[in-house]
Amino acid sequence: MKIVLAYSGGLDTSIILAWLKQNYDAEIIAFCADIGQGEELDGLKDKALRTGAAKCVIEDLREEFARDFIFPMFQADAIYEGQYFLGTSIARPLIAKRMVEIARAESTEMIAHGATGKGNDQVRFELTAAALAPELKVIAPWRDENFRKQFPGRAEMIAFANENKISVEASVSKPYSMDRNLLHISFESGMLEDPWFDASGLEARDMYKLSVSPEDAPNEAEYVELHFESGNCSFVAPGGASSREPGVAGARSAPEAPRRRPPSKMSPLQVMQMLNKLGGKHGIGRVDIVENRFVGMKGRGVYETPGGAILHFAHRQMETLTMDREVMQLRDSLIPKYSSLVYNGFWFSPEREALQALVTESQRNVTGVVKLKLYKGNIIVAGRKSPKSLYDPQIASMEAERSTYNQSDATGFIRLNALRLKVRAALKSRSKAKD
């Protein structure tokens, strides 16, 4: 028997690897998707084999993650409950997709994950498997009563790891869990389960990995320009460096740098890496939220999303210049639905794919450059320009009349829009008089 396990090398999956081998008498194939965990992958293969895995597969999926998952989601301006950039949510369907492919290649019908029975990840893994390979059996140890009896809490898991010489970063004094990828790092459980605990205070200072605190960020603002093509960021120019993009008459370089030739494109992975570096340097993208989990309870999560916060803000600024009003309002009305689909694990659902087609069409003209100023946790827009701009100063200017817009026309426009309000006011007046 073979079981493909989604393996991170953290406390939960390390314990689960050993537990699966003992209880299923199976060969465990540990699979780890490299989606931007950085140094966390160092020595991971040796650790998996020492813990009992028959094989450890580590694959670099960072470019696919950025190109096929992060970028399409950011085209939709997706953000869950107004704060969460969906960093963990968007990674799960990619991991599960590759697990399914490995299971088929290994001729096994069993996959396993370390998601708890109280969280969202169990749903995300298993809905993806159901959509792509419904014949697979999914093992979820946290939903197994015997597993929970043996490990009622993290203290017991840490003790088991110590007894079996399984190296894990978690400790009784630092019990929170962490999940890292190219888009973000999430922190939860332990001290963070108290919503009154100050995750920005001194006690949590050593928890963060991607960003400095805003208080420790540089005292001087830094400019950065993001170039967009059809809603996707294609180039990042830090330090205010700008270039004359094609199609913009009279475009000028930013004063911070001399003119350059049009920039060569960056891959989605390179864009995210650059933005993470810049955002982290300036303390950008820290989010502390009590969110509504799909399973029905609330949960507290703390997130670092430095590059994602910049990308989301800049993309929105580019849209304000280039998107038709009604198209924008239609797309915006779908943001809560799209975000919920990602959060709840329905990435490979027909409704998400249908929404994505609309989003792709809405992004056709979202092309140009956005200039931002980064300063102590803040993202401040410093300029925007586009060869496909819908903003026309000749029309919008208050300085003179233009043939394209006659201010007198607004009289009839207002009168027509006021008609129903006047009718309602008259009805209310008559009703009041009868009373």
**Rounded Cα gap, residues 281 and 342, in angstroms:** 29
CA atoms of 403 and 396, how far apart (whole Å): 12
Assess contact for 180 and 306: CB atoms under 8 A. Answer: no
Could you list the active site residues? 12, 92, 121, 177
- Rounded Cα–Cα distance for residues 240 and 225 (Å): 6
3-state DSSP assignment of residue 111? strand
Q: How far is CA 319 from the centre of its chain?
A: 19
H/E stretch holding 303 reads strand 298-304
Q: How many CB atoms neighbour CB 419 within 10 A?
A: 10
Cα gap 138→132, rounded to integer Å:
13
The CA distance from 46 to 28, in Å, is 14
Virtual CA dihedral for 14, 18, 20, 21, nearest 10 degrees? 140
CA angle 357, 363, 367 (to 5 degrees): 155
Residues 6+ apart with CB under 8 A from 337: 355
